[in-house]
Amino acid sequence: MKMISKLLATLLALALVFSLAACGGSDASKGTTEAESAATEATESTEEATETTEATETTEATEATEATADIVGVWKYDLDFTKALEEMQKEDENPEEIALQYDLMIKLFADVSAPMILELKEDNSYNAYVDENVKEEMSKKIEENLPEIVPDLLAGISGMSREDLEAYLSANGVTMDDMVAQISAQLNASDLFDSLVMPNETGTYTYEDGKLVLTNEKGEETVWTVELGGDELTVFDMEGGEDGNFPDSFFPMVFTR
């Protein structure tokens, strides 16, 4: 922008010199002097305008840099799965039809939470992740909860009461423990955990006018509508990318630094 402004100033001054010289009349010397004077004034005026423009651009760039600097840090949000699922159930259009599924999911994720971490760096790069130690701990929690829901899950699918189902299985030489073991082997607790949290990813970000735009390494863009207040970052909405899959009931999310 600086180079373009100076080029325009030079072109304007030259154009003015030639236009005034062409209208100089009989007194060529006087005309030339006036033209040179006018050109000088035009150059000075344009340079002042250029300096003002550059100052404005510098101020805007500084403000943008300061805004980005304000949001730099490691932000953490503890996602309570039970609360989130309960809120999802309230918002569901057919809550009665899938009440069993919600009840079982709530039991499956009982006492399970996930600290989602968003690290925004000074170079406008970011990391989004869940601590692997926490992930492992929470996955074990899911595995522990799984035996509690399998009998009800099977009963719901078969249309039998739990007692009738156990009697049926026993008559066929199968115990409920056998069924729990088989189903547990098929379900990956780590994958279940991943399905409800922000995906681990890296990329770049911009922050301006309440919009935090995250662009991951695949070039996929997610726009967060946020409000920054000290060490709290309140997220009201996420659009695009995998983050955009969060139900409305998850919001607002309040990240702390």
**Which residue has better confidence, 36 or 5?**
36
Do the Cβ atoms of 205 and 72 come closer than 8 Å? no
Q: What is the pLDDT of residues 14-54, one digit of tens each?
A: 333 333 333 344 443 444 445 445 445 545 555 565 555 55
pLDDT at position 140 is 84
What is the phi/psi pair of residue 95, to 5°?
A: -65, -35
Section 221-240 average pLDDT: 94
The confidence score (pLDDT) of residue 254 equals 95
pLDDT for 67 equals 61
Give me the pLDDT at residue 196, please. 67
User: What amino acid occupies position 212?
Assistant: L
pLDDT at 26: 40
Compute how many other C-beta atoms are within 10 angstroms of the C-beta atom of residue 212: 21
Evaluate if residue 233 carries a pLDDT over 90.
Answer: yes
CA distances (Å), origin 191, targets 135, 154, 163, 246: 10, 21, 31, 17
Given a contact cutoff of 8 angstroms between Cβ atoms, the answer to whether 249 and 90 are in contact is: yes
Using 50, 70 and 90 to split pLDDT, how confident is the model at 209? very high
* Mean pLDDT of the residues in the chain: 75
Query: Among the listed ranges 43-57, 183-197, 217-231, which one has the minimum average pLDDT value?
Result: 43-57
Mean pLDDT over residues 59-82, rounded?
75
For residues 181 and 153, what is the distance between their CA atoms, to the nearest angstrom? 14
Domain spans, the chain: 2-69, 72-256
Query: Has residue 168 got a pLDDT over 80?
Result: yes
Cα–Cα distance for residue pair 231/236, rounded to 1 Å: 16
The model's confidence at residue 97, banded by pLDDT at 50, 70 and 90, is: low
Q: Which residues contact 257 (CB under 8 A, 6 or more apart)?
A: 73, 74, 75, 76, 231, 232, 233
Summarize the confidence of residues 2-24 as an average pLDDT: 32
> Which residues have CB under 8 Å from 152's CB, separation 6+?
100, 103, 104, 162
CA distance 124 to 77: 20
* The pLDDT of residue 164: 93
d(CA 150, CA 201): 33
First CA to last CA distance, the chain: 37
